[in-house]
Amino acid sequence: MRGNRLRVAAHPLHVDEARMCNMSKSNKLAKLRTLHANQQNWRCFYCRYLMWQGDQTLFAARHSLLAGSLNRFQCTAEHMQPRMNGGEDRPENIVAACKFCNQTRHQMREVLSPAAFRQHVRKRTRTGKWHPREFRRLSQ
């Protein structure tokens, strides 16, 4: 039939970049953060520990931990190429990372590449020198 177009439903995790261009910067980052967190099964890109978003008390109860001690595992939008180096808020430049990994990477004297930092974090995680031992169950 002429004039009628077949509409195909988008995948629920599909990023419509045209619509995202019109969003506020914080809303766009929040959507990208959630998108990548879902794709990563709510595990930090660097340390692979579980992350939370929204209400940390629910996360704490689910994992039998104290709510006030979980700030380090808050889900953040991590720029693979930092903004200060020209990195943009685009899907291919964002991953979900826990607050601790994100902040630690960018507080280093020399900011490591994502791959080098990931290797550094995984090595320290294996030896128990990244997150406190009480949170080890979040890595399983």
Per-residue pLDDT of the chain (140 residues; tens, 9 = 90+): 444 443 333 434 444 444 444 456 678 899 999 999 999 999 999 999 999 999 999 999 999 999 888 999 999 999 999 888 899 999 999 999 999 999 999 898 888 999 999 999 999 999 999 999 999 999 98
C-alpha 84: how far from its chain's center?
A: 19
In the prediction, which pLDDT does 67 show?
Answer: 84
CA distance 95 to 78: 5
pLDDT of residue 84: 85
Nearest to 53 by CA among 32, 28, 38, 74: 74
Match 């340390």 to its residue by tokens.
Answer: 47
Position 4 scores a pLDDT of: 44
Residues, the chain, total? 140
| pLDDT for residue 24 | 63
Q: Rounded CA gap, 44 and 60, in Å? A: 17
> 23-132 has which fold?
DNA Binding (I), subunit A (1.10.30)
* pLDDT value, residue 25: 66
What pLDDT does 1 receive? 43
Q: Which helix (H) or strand (E) holds 95?
A: strand 94-98
CA atoms of 60 and 79, how far apart (whole Å)? 27
